[in-house]
Structure formats: C-alpha cells, structure tokens
Structure 1
Amino acid sequence: MEPLRGADPARIAGYRLLRRLGAGGMGVVYLARSGGGSLAAVKVIRGAYAHDAGFRARFRREVETAGRVVSPWVVPLLDADPDAESPWLATAFVPGPSLAEAVEECGPLPQDSVRFLGGRLAEALAAVHGAGLVHRDVKPGNVLLAVDGPRMIDFGIARMPEDTALTASGMVVGSPGFLSPEQAQGRGREIGPASDVFSLGCLLAYAVTGERPFGRGSAADALVRTVHDEPDLDGVPETLLPLLRACLAKDPGSRPTVTEVRESLQGDGDGEGGGRLPETLTGLIARRSTAVLALPDVEATEVSGAPAEADTVHSAEEPPQDSTRRRFLVLGSAAGVLAAGGSAAWWTSQRPGRTPAQGGGTRLPRLVVAVHADLTGDRKTAGRAQENGVRLAVEHVNSRTGRGFELALQVHDDAGSPARAVRIARKLDADDRVRAVIGPTTDACARAVRAAYQRALLPMVSVSVGLDDVSPHQHRVYAATRPSDTGLAAPVVAHLVRTARARRTVLIDDAAEGDFSWTFCAGVDEAVRSPQRTTVRRRLAAEDDSADVFRALAESVTGWDADAVVFAGGYARAAQLARALRSAGYSGARLATQRALDPRFLGSAGEAAEGWVFAATFLDPTGVTAAKSFVTAYRQRFDASPPWYSAEAYDATLFVARAMTALGASRAERGAIVGRLRETDYQGITKRLRYNTSSYVYADAMYLFRASGGRFHCLGEYREATA
C-alpha cells in the first residue's frame, strides 16, 4: 500500500479512500472503507479514458460481467457506477498477496497447497463458465491468497465465447506465458472454457515449481513457445504430471473440463482439509493483514468530507484496545478468519507457534546471515578463509551510509561431518532471524543439508562446493558461486592444447574420487582427442595405494612415450604419482585439479611437485587489481594475507546483501531472497555472479596455478593464462 497523493480524491461515492493499492495506464485502484466500515478495493478509471465512449462501454461490460459471477472463490463485486464522471467499481478487499507475489517472495508452494489452490480455482472457473463467460486472463497476478483459500479477480477482458468484441482474427488478448495456443495465435472464435483450463494448467505448474512452463523472456518468445513447444514440467511432482499435461494439450478438445480438473485434484486426498501453506507464506499474509489493522478507525471514515490528515493511525504493535476490536470486526471475511485464529486448513502452518520477529525503536532492522563451514575438520583452512571473508563483507555492508538494514552474522562449525551439518541446518531452519546461509564448505555436507534448506526456503549460497547433480528447478535455494567440478576440464584442456601442445596424453581416473574423476577424464578425453592428438585412459583403483602400483603407473606413462599426464585424484595420491613419475624420469606436462591443490601436496611430493599445473575455481586475491582494497582490509583485520576462498566468500556475501538491498528490509524474507538472487547481476572482485534462464553462470571464474619453488603461483584466469 502507498499513501494517497495530492491529486487523489478523498472519497468515491460512499467510499472513503485510505491508500493506493496500485496504478496502471487505465486507472488507479484504491483501498477504501465504506460508511458501514467494511474494506473494499475501488478501481477508478482515468479521465482520459472516461471521455472515450468506446472505453466507457467496455468498462460497463466489465461491471456487468463481474456481477454475473457468484462463487466463494471469486472476489465479489460490491458496487459500481460506470456512468459516473470517473467510472468506478468496488470489490471486496482481500488483505493477502497475489500468487505471483507469493511465489516470488516465498518460493514454490507444496504439492498439497497447489492441489487445494487448483481445486478452488477450478470451482471459480466453473462459476465463470456457468455464467456463460470465459475469463481469458487466468494468471498468478489475478489470484489473491486469503486465509481460507484463493480468490480470483479481474474480469476486465472476460467475455462470452461468441462475443465478437474480442474475437477479431489475429488479436492476442491475455498475458503471454499463461495463455492458450489459440489465444497466442489470435484465433478468437476458438477461445472458450478450454482456454481457461490451459491457463490454469500454466498457473498450477508455476505455483508448484516457481517456473513458467513456457519459459521467461520476451512476450513474443513466450507466444511462440506456447504454440510450438512442449511445456517444461521439470520439477512438477509425478502425481500432478498427468493432469497438467492434459490441461496443457495444444488441442482445446483434448483438455479436461474445469469440473474434471477439480475432481482430479480432489481424487488424491485433497478434500476440504487439504494443503497447508508454508510458514513463510502465512507470515507474508499475516503481515499484510496486520498492516490493515493500522488503517483509520471506522469513526474517521464516517465524517463526511474529513481530510485524510484528520485520521488517527495507531501503531500496529500497540493499538488501543477498542479501536483494535473495531478493526478486527470490519476487516472482512479473509482477515476476520485470521483474527479468529486462522482456522482454515490451508492457512494453518506446518510448524505452528512461531511468529515473525518484529523490530522496534529507531534502530535499523537486523538481517542475519549464517556461515555454515568446516572450521575444525579436514577442510578447516578453506572454512576459516570463508568465515573471514564473510566477516569482512558484513563489516563492509554495515559501514555504508544510507543502508536500510544492519547485517548480523552467525557462525556454525560442522567439522566436515554430514551428520553434524544436518543438525546445524535444523537449527538454522528454526531460527527465523536467519535469512541466508553461506556454505557449507564440503560437497558431502552440502549434499546432506540441501533438502533441509530447500524445505526451509533458506538460501544456501555455496563458495567451495562443486556439486554437478543439483537441479535449479528442484533446489531453488541452492546458489553455487563457482562452477561445478566437471567444469574444471575446460582449463585443463586449454593448457594441454595451447600451452603444453600435447600430442600424447595419459588420463588417470582415480576411483577414490567417485563419479567426478570418471566424468572429468571423459570430458578432457572428448575435448582433446583428434587426428593430431592421442589419449589413453588409465584407472587407479580406490584401494591401490602401494608404491608398486604408482611405479607401474609411471612406467606405463613413459613406456607409451606420453608428453602429458592428467590426474583426477586428491593431493595425497597426486604426491605419490609425482614421486613415481620423477623416479621414472618423466619430464612432460603434469596436470591436476583443485582436489590436489593443497599445501600438503607440496610437502609430500617435495621436489617432484615442481612444474605441476592445477585447474581451480578460486584465485589468489593478492594478484588481482580489483581485490586490492579487500587484500588491504584483510591484512589489517587478520594480520595475514587473504587465503584461497576468502575473496570468493566476500563476494558471495555481498551478492546476498545486494539482493536484500533490492528487496528492502521489510521484504527480505528467505523465499524472496531466493527469487531475488536469480535476478541479481553482481560484479564482484573475483567474478561476475548472475543467473541465466536455467543456472548460475561464471564464464570467467576458472584459474590455473603452478607449483614452483615450494609454492603455488596463480597464473590467472585460464583463458588469459593460455592465450
């Protein structure tokens, strides 16, 4: 809601205007209170259109259409005057978000909630079709979420199927991405109830996955995909797939009726006590309803001509008892249910008893980020580097003038234990103050907690994790700020081809590294092998750690006359191989990945480490111009040069802070941050962080290191280092 502006009227007929709810090219929608105290949404047409006879006739048709539809799941028309100087209509006010807002801020709805939603919307459309109409614009923005169920709104383009006003050939009416193929092609005379069923299928797919089934992008692209492509239903639960595929059939005659949709959704146990809303969404609805409680009292609305400045607005936190009681009584059916305790099944939270934290006084709101890292286990060096990078980022955010919130930090150590990581995830899930998590440090811990963070809609922004098997549709909360491990094949191939100019390469697949090693070697093999270049693959069993095994492996390299070796294992076995190759007299190129890029490799391999080249997804910030200020601040704060992963963690935190800032403190809930991260384009000191249509991308975030003189030296971004 926004305050009224100077040019806004104080009243429309018997309605006292309180706030602006929205504005478009055609008019303005106000929140108003009737003389009897009930709330309403009043839509007022702009003067420029009011003088257009054709537009006034269309508006009159909208009023007539809205008045014909009677359903508990359709927002009812209360009053209207299409012949007034400024035509207007009033509908009941629902103090809840639209489905579009809910999914954007809180993420996809659980399957049970979607079943309940779909069943009620099918009922609403049955009433629309029963009145001889077609809605024509069923989309998330036209569905409001109330405490007892959804409400369908906006009959501005609803028409009878045979109405010629909107059936001109080639005219596209509706919202691209949620309209039917016949609407997309402007086949007006074919638009009937089945078109609303198609749109309902798009809406339900969006509600359960958070993604539009025909993708995002321009309206033209969406129209083309709607007509020619099959819908993308990845992430839709198996039990919903048959129904949604039927709803999204290209042929209108192949789609179910709205009655069949409702029966299908109730057939798997939805019933009247069906789906529950996630707690983040119930909190959003509660905040909207609480804001309504702070509106002017009933008595103020009954003073004819009273200026808006005369209204008495009390704090929602400490309202006078009498006025609070009056407001609860006049909020209308939706907020009234909330006031009575939120008894509707789909309103009830799965974990009752927790309420959103409230700030007070003039202090800035506090938004908490948590570091979830290995601080005492095998990867403690990386984990501590990440913790320090996050600390510097938090201090940087809090030093800015004009910021809208204070960033606070929690630190949790899983010691590299997946079981301990799960306990931490549960703890963070239960702490409503935590808005995002930076971490964990290891792949194993990330796999253990990603489902828990997904259920909590808690953003999980990883710095050093390289999982390859994470679907961005199923795990929306997971934001990896580095390429996956298999992406490391690219810098290795670049070095082999451009720098080493290798002709005969041995690829050593280390079974101890699991699927990564096989996939990585396969990727390098496919990219390198050509008529001019030959490759051969060797497999090192997970249990083979004896000196004899590595000696035989090194002899096979020299015996084949190889000029390059690529090893996909960790630091300990890489050191064994390095010593064996040195003893066998091998002097060609030797490459590995960041799994072996560890100071312990240098100590174990000794002189045999000299010349090894490593592909990595982190850099040495001390050699990066853009990171100069960070390096200075790190040295001042921690009395040491910044280690690997510290700068990447710094960027990851500022990436999250950018999303929070864009939302504003009041809207920076967990689910909203998840959605905003996908819309945030952040140029950090290490890389550019952004999301394309299907995943996070980091074209400039892979580097090469060389072991020399008992140290690792960063050669730079791999494309520049191999140019």
Structure 2
Amino acid sequence: MRALKGADPEAIGGYRLLARLGAGGMGVVYLARSEGGGLVALKVIRAEYAADPGFRARFRREAESARRLRGRFVVPVTAADPDAREPWLATAFVPGPSLAEAVAERGTFPYASARGLGARLAKALTEVHAAGLVHRDVKPGNVLLALDGPRLIDFGIARSLGATALTATDAVIGTPGYLAPEQARMGAGEVGPASDVFSLGCVLAYTTTGRRPFGTGAPLAVMVRTVQEPPDLAGVDGEWRALLERCLAKDPALRPTAAQLAAELGHVADTPGAPGDDAWLPPGLPALIAERSARILDLPEPERTVTAPAPAPGPGPGPGRRRLLTLGAAAGVLAAGGGTAAYQWFSGDGTKTTSGTRGSAVPTVHIGLHGDMSGPDRAFGRAQERGARLAVAAHNARADRTVTLKLRVRDDGGGAARAARVARQFVDDPEVYAVLGPTSDTTATAAVKVYKKSVLPMVTVWAADTVLNAIVDAPIFQLRAPAAMLATPIVHWLTHVRPSERTALIDDRADETTSWNLVKILNDAPPSRGSVSVHTVEADSEDFGTAVAGALAAGAEGLVYCGTSPDRAARCAKAVRAAGFTGGRVLTQPAFGAEFLTAAGAAGEGWVVASSFVDPERVRKASSFVAAYRAVYGQGPVPMGATEAYDALGLVAHALSRIDTPDRVAAHRALRKGTYQGIARAYTFRKGDGAFDHTKGMYLWRAEKGRARYLGPYQEVDKGVL
C-alpha cells in the first residue's frame, strides 16, 4: 500500500481514495472508501485504452457478468462505470495479504497446505468458468488470504484489466511466468478455462517451491520458456509433482478441468467454520493475516452520533387477520393524530440519518436472528425476536431509509452443537450481513468461533461471558455488561443505599469462573471500603445453609450471591431467610428472573438485582416502543431484553445504512465506530481500541411482592428507594 500521488483525484464515482494498492500498464488500483464507510479496491483504466468502443463494450459485459458471482472464494465486483472518461470498477476489499506477500514473508507452504489452497482456488475457478468467464491472470498477487480461505480477485475482467500489455495490438493479457502457452503465443482465440488451470499450476508450484516454474527475467524470455521448455519442478516429488505436471501440460486438452482439479485436491466445506475448514493454513500465516487485517481496519473514520428512530408497529411471526387489523388501527391512530406523536412514531425524534446517495432503488438487506426459540431460554429468544421485528418495522417505515431490512430467524434450541450449526448456516448465507444473538453464554461461546473466523458481525444482548467481551479485534459485539462488571452496581448499593462494612460473598462453584471473578473484584474493591468474607458452596452441593451460617458468624451486614444459577440462587435465598438475615442482599442478572422469583417465593423478597436491562415502561424515550409492543403482542409487561434487542437491531441497521454496497467487513467497521443513541441508552465504542463501553449500561432492580421493580441506572439510585 502506498500514499496517493499529487495527480491522483480525491474521489472517483462517489468513493474517497485512501491509498494506492498497485499500478500497471493499463491503470491504477486504489484503496477507497464509500460514502457509507465500506472499503473497496477501485480499479481505474487509463483513458487511452477506453478510447476503443470495443474495449468499453467488453468491459461492460464482463463486469456485469462478474457482479453475478457470489462464490465463497471469489471477490465480487460491487460497482462499475464503463461510461466514465476513465472507466472504473469496485470490488469488495479483502484486508489480508496476497499469496505473493505471504510466501515472501513467511516462506513456502507445506504440501498439505498447498493442496488445501489449491482446492479452494480450483473451486473458485469452477464457478468463474461456469459463468462463461475466463480469468486470464491467475497469479499469487491476485490471491488474497483470509482466515476463512483464499480469495481470487480480478476474475472475469482480466481481459480488460490485465497487468501486462506488451504491444498496442494483439495485447497479451496476463503476467509472464503465470501465462499459459496459448496466452504467451498471443493466440487470444485459444485462451479458455484450461488457460486458468495452467496458471493455477504455476501458482501452486510457486507456493511450494518459492520459484516461478518458468523462471524470471525479461518478459519475452519467460514467455519463450513457457512455450518451449518443461517447468522447473526441482525438489517436488510424488503425487504433488504428477498433479502439477498435468496442470502445466503444453496441450490444453491434457489438463484437468477446474472442477476435476477441485475434486482431486480434496473436499472443501461449503460452510466457513466447519470442522477442518482451517486445516489449509500453514503455521505463521494466521498471525500475518491478523496483522494485515488490523492495519487496514485501523484506518481512521469520522466519529458519528445518531439517534434511534422511534418504533413503528411491525408484524410478529405469522400474524393473523385480527393482528393485522390491530396493527393498521394502531398506525392509523398515530398518523391521524398528526403532530409530534405520528412524527416520532415513524421518524424518531427528528434527527435525520443519512448515509450517502443510492439512487431511487432501495436495496434489501437481510439480518439474521440467532436465538433459542424452543429450548430452556426460549422466553429470551422470543423477547429478542419481538424486539427485533419491531425495529425492522420501524426502520422500514422511514421515508429516508437507504436499505430495506428483512429478518431471517434460526432456532438453536439452546444447544451448543446446534448453535454452531446455525452460525455456519448464517455465515454461508451471502445475503446476511450481520446476526443478532445468540441468547445464552453457552450458545454464544459455541457460535463465536464461527462468526469470528468469517468476519460476520455477531451482536448479542443476552450473552454476558467475560471471554466474549474481551474480543475487540473481531466482529463480536457483546452489548450486555459481563457478569463480573456487575460488581459496580453491587458496590454502589452496599455503599450508598444499604451500607455494609462487612460483606459476605457466597462463592457458588457451580459456575466457578463467573463466581470467582465476582469474588475477586469485590475482594479488591469491597463495598463501603470495608471487609469481605468468602463462603464457598461446592458445585455438587446444595447446602447453602452452612455457607450462610458462616456469613452470619462473620458479622455480615450485606450478602452477595456470586453464582449464575436462578435455582441455586433461590436455595441461597431460602437459607438466608431461614437464618433470619435482613441485611442487604444482592445478586446479578444471570441468577435472576421469573425462575428465581417462583422458586424463592417469599424468600426472594427484598433481594436487589444488578442488571444490564432496563424496564422500558420506566424509560421516557421508550414509550412509543411500549405502545408498539402492546399493539402487536398484546397487553402485559414488555419482557426483559426486548428493548435492548430493538436497540441492537437499530445499531446494526444504522451501520448497514452507512454502506453503499453490502459488505460484512464494512459492517464490522461501521458498528465499531462512534455512538448510537438507542431508546434504552447510548451505545458507545471507545476511541483507540474500539472496545464497547458498558459503564452506562448497568441498572438496579428489586424483588417486591413477587415481582421485579426497576429502580433505574445504578448511579441514580439512592436511599430514597427504600
């Protein structure tokens, strides 16, 4: 990557140029950013070549053909202008290194890695050839490497964008050293799919030997050797040598097809993240890919603060005629009311969000919803889905929207293995550009490996795993405060509201990691700057009475249950009540909910909950959301987490709206920048490391009369609530 030159324009076709990626005889390749923030490789053809009407016709035809390709290992053309003075086209940008750079910096690939690389590139060529296209310039510089596989670039347009043009007429398209003999002879009519297979053979030979099979030097000398001499495969033996020799046969008819080669080199999973999918990566390459990707993703981007739209009523799953009539009536009442109510319903609080001009057509973008719809956390899954559907309806009701959203819902049943399969299904769906969910730590931990490797943004409002929260250089967005961070509102309660100079911690080893983290934090920063005592309950024990007795013996004035099990928290609450303890009693959100209230009964009364969720009925900005929820799903309390799911979908929608062409990497970048003002709170990413700021997303609730009463943001809760 090199700096722009003085003669380079600032922008082309609405794309702002950032740097030069390369230059050749026919044009320049730039790194550019769209008005929506997405990165592209922008290829510009010199005007002298564009003066040929036949050139422009071929350019237009082949660029349009290339735009239809959506294979896993090809980089698609996303935009083009064949009628510009200097025709240009944009392709999705892959931030990893090229194969040429990887071999130069980290050395040759082992045979097993080269076979895996070859299988993936052969699969890419199979799709290119099936579309009636010929690449014509397969070389290490046109193979970009990502953790989920290589990407073949410049396919289908090499005829117009070849790196080498040796003569003004009968120009050779391609790169000497990787050209097929029929290309080197300038016999353009003979060039076909077999030519790409020859070039791939040259690439694979280079990958395992570090040498071009027909040497280097003057281009004409290299081409003569390509036509007349056998390839240099010194040091290559066995089946690998035999395979390369077949690919490098002088007679195109003797070469395998790309499809045959793909089958011979070995199976490649259709879904990124499948078991063994990363087996092709040689040692050291993942670190290089991560380094190059991070360098690109750290490019500066202006900070933005936007405001979430107020919700419009949207359909739940399969609404009947009565529900549709209810929706229409609710929208009609608001619209008929005119003024503020109707405007806020459809347009937010008046802050208009723009993301560049897309023309009259509004593209449709799909967002996946990954949740437990049938297992132990199905209530959470339903709350997430309902909040998300309302957000989709609100977004699609906006007259100024730049994308239309659709939701695709998949059920993981609460199981880890099934969650990984659902993640792979979303990753393999080219129309999905972000995923909301999953709905538990167990399923999120299983799915995160798949989403992380594929660069498909995963936004969860339910998972609270500390490990997930630590991932700041990947498209993983945990909007809920980790369980250990909830120590902050606990300390606030036991310091400023119900002071406790001697606090007892019930360390429940049934969830050893979370409980241990919370115990450690409270030990280091005890409430009221007092003292703490720790009382352990082993994972295979249900005897909380002994631990509670120890807490009282230590003179506890406040008590914290540090585990995450609602059932075990209820057992602890019953032991506390049986012991007659009436001091401050606190637990965290993972251990709370309807299950705790039901199981604890009267023993749950007075327990305070440190939570990451709001009660929308107590949040002024959420009033329209509550009305919309009840209009669609009936009366009653809005379930915990639905509001945050609404905001999370809004955050994703805003990020996608800022991207001119749907792009997962660009969505990742857009999500990790600036502040988004939701209806529950502001969602902010820190400058520098891009980490999500959870400090304003923690609240206090209290169990009263068998229900949970929302007290508010923990910083605002004082003794007046008692």
Q: TM-score range by the shorter chain?
A: 0.5 to 0.7
Shift of residue 31, structure 1, vs aligned partner: 3.8
Structure 1 residues 36, 672: closer, same or farther in 2, change over 3 A?
closer
Residue 33 (structure 1) aligns with: 47
Deviation at 1:395, TM superposition (A): 1.1
**Structure-2 separation of matches of 1:605 and 1:434:** 42
TM-score normalised by length of structure 1:
0.56
* Aligned partner letter, 1:544: S
2:625 matches 1:630? yes
Q: 2:362 maps to which residue?
A: 364
Q: Is residue 679 of structure 2 the alignment partner of residue 682 of structure 1? A: no
Structure 1 residue 396 displacement after superposition: 1.2
Q: CA deviation at 1:390?
A: 0.8
1:542 and 2:536 aligned: no
| Pairwise CA distance, 1:420 | 0.6
Change (3 A) 1:599 1:684: same
Counterpart of 1:710 in structure 2 is 706
Q: Does 1:578 align with 2:573?
A: yes
Partner of 1:217: none
Partner residue of 2:667 out of 667, 673, 681: 673
* Partners of 1:19 and 1:496 in 2: CA distance: 61
Query: Paired residues, what number?
Result: 462
What are the residue-to-residue correspondences of 1:87-106 with 2, within 5 Å?
Answer: 102=93, 106=94
Structure 1 stretches lacking a partner, 5+ long: 5-14, 24-28, 40-91, 121-145, 152-273, 294-301, 303-325, 355-360
What CA deviation, in whole Å up to 9, does each residue of 1:26-49 have, x standing for no partner? xxx97433259689xxxxxxxxxx
Distance 1:285 1:522, change over 3 A: farther
Partner of 2:434: 436
Where 2:525 maps in the other structure, the secondary structure is helix
CA distance in structure 2 between the partners assigned to 1:524 and 1:387 by the alignment: 35
- Counterpart of 1:571, as a letter, is P
Q: Secondary structure at the match of 1:716?
A: strand
| Greater RCO structure (CA 8 Å; 6+ sep) | 2
Counterparts of 2:97 and 2:453, CA distance in 1: 9
1:17 to 1:511, Cα distance in 2 relative to 1, 3 A: closer
Q: 1:563 to 1:95 in 2, by over 3 A?
A: same
Distance 1:112 1:149, change over 3 A: closer
Shift of 1:470: 3.6
Whole-angstrom CA distance in 2 between matches of 1:498 and 1:421: 42
Q: Deviations over 1:551-581 (max 9, x none)?
A: 2223223333211100012211111121121
Q: Secondary structure at the match of 1:700?
A: coil
* Superposition deviation, residue 393 in structure 1: 1.0
Distance 1:421 1:475, change over 3 A: farther
Question: Structure 2 CA distance, aligned partners of 1:284 and 1:365?
Answer: 25
Match of 1:109 among 96, 108, 128: 96
Q: 1:459 to 1:329 in 2, by over 3 A?
A: farther
Residue 284 of structure 2: aligned partner: none
Alpha-carbon spacing, 1:559–1:113, altered in 2? closer, same or farther (3 Å): farther
CA distance in 2, matches of 1:115, 1:555: 63
The answer to whether the Cα contact below 8 Å between 1:505 and 1:566 also exists between their aligned partners in 2 is yes
Any gaps of 5 or more consecutive residues in structure 2? 1-10, 15-24, 34-42, 54-85, 108-136, 162-167, 184-190, 205-257, 272-358
Superposed CA deviations along residues 131-166 of structure 1, whole A, max 9, x for unmatched, are xxxxxxxxxxxxxxx963449xxxxxxxxxxxxxxx
**Partner SS for 2:614:** coil
Q: What is the rounded CA distance, in whole Å, between the counterparts of 2:26 and 2:100 in structure 1?
A: 36
Match of 1:413 in 2: 411
Structure 2: how far apart are the matches of 1:94 and 1:706? 61
Note if 1:561 corresponds to 2:555: yes
The one of 584, 587, 593 equivalent to 1:589 is 584
Output one character per residue of 1:247-287: Cα deviation in whole Å (capped at 9) or x when no partner. xxxxxxxxxxxxxxxxxxxxxxxxxxx87457898487559
Render the CA deviation track for 1:111-138: whole Å, top value 9, x for unaligned.
9686147579xxxxxxxxxxxxxxxxxx
Corresponding position of 2:164? none
What is the letter of the counterpart of residue 449 of structure 1?
A
Please name the residue that 2:227 is paired with: none
Aligned residue in 2 for 1:237:
none
Distance in 2 (CA, whole Å) between partners of 1:330 and 1:679 is: 45
Quick one: structure 1 residues 579 and 478, their matched pair in 2 at CA, closer, same or farther if it must change by over 3 Å? same
1:566-600 Cα distance to aligned partner (Å, 9 max, x none): 00122111111211211211111110001221112
- The 8 Å contact of residues 463 and 645 in structure 1, kept in 2 or not, is answered as yes
Contact 1:19 1:32 in 2 (8 A): no
Q: Distance in 2 between matches of 1:444 and 1:558?
A: 34
Query: 1:643 aligned to 639, 654, 670, which one?
Result: 639
Q: What SS is found at the alignment partner of 1:479?
A: strand
Distance in 1, Cα, partners of 2:159 & 2:610: 53
- Output the amino acid matched with 2:574: R
Matches of 2:654 and 2:104 in 1, distance apart? 33
**Does the 8 A contact of 1:389 with 1:648 survive in 2?**
yes
Compared with structure 1, are the counterparts of its residues 579 and 474 closer, same or farther at alpha carbon in structure 2 (3 Å cutoff)?
A: closer
Distance in 2 (CA, whole Å) between partners of 1:681 and 1:281 is 34
Q: Tell me, in whole angstroms, the C-alpha distance in 2 between the residues paired with 1:561 and 1:281.
A: 63
Q: Partners of 2:270 and 2:467 in 1: how far apart?
A: 36
Matching of residues 479-490 of structure 1 within 5 Å: 479-490=477-488
Cα–Cα, structure 1 residues 402 and 20, in superposed 2: closer, same or farther, change >3 Å? farther
Question: Given the superposition, is the C-alpha separation of residues 654 and 112 from structure 1 closer, same or farther in structure 2, using an over 3 Å criterion?
Answer: same
SS in 1 for 2:466: coil
Matched, 1:620 2:597: no
Q: 1:149 to 1:404 in 2, by over 3 A?
A: farther
- What does residue 148 of structure 1 align with? 139
Match status 1:445 vs 2:443: yes
Distance 1:447 1:114, change over 3 A: farther
SS of the equivalent of 2:652 reads helix
Distance 2:408 2:612 in 1: 26
Partner of 1:163: none
SS in 2 for 1:595: helix
Counterpart of 1:124 in structure 2 is none
The one of 408, 421, 424 equivalent to 1:423 is: 421
Identity rate, percent: 30
What is the rounded CA distance, in whole Å, between the counterparts of 1:291 and 1:501 in structure 2?
76
Q: Is the 8 A contact 1:462 1:481 kept in 2?
A: yes
AA matched with 1:540: V
Give the conservation status (yes or no) of the 8 Å contact 1:22–1:30: no
Between 397-406 and 566-575, the greater mean CA deviation after superposition:
397-406
1:439, distance to aligned residue in structure 2 (A): 0.7
CA gap of 1:19–1:452, structure 2 versus 1, over 3 A, is closer
The aligned runs of 1:396-407 (5 Å cut-off) are 396-407=394-405
Verify: 1:663 aligned to 2:654, yes or no.
Answer: no
Q: Structure 2 counterpart of 1:433, which letter?
A: E
Alpha-carbon separation, structure 1, partners of 2:159 and 2:44: 15
Give the C-alpha shift of residue 351 in structure 1.
6.1
Match of residue 654 from structure 1: 650
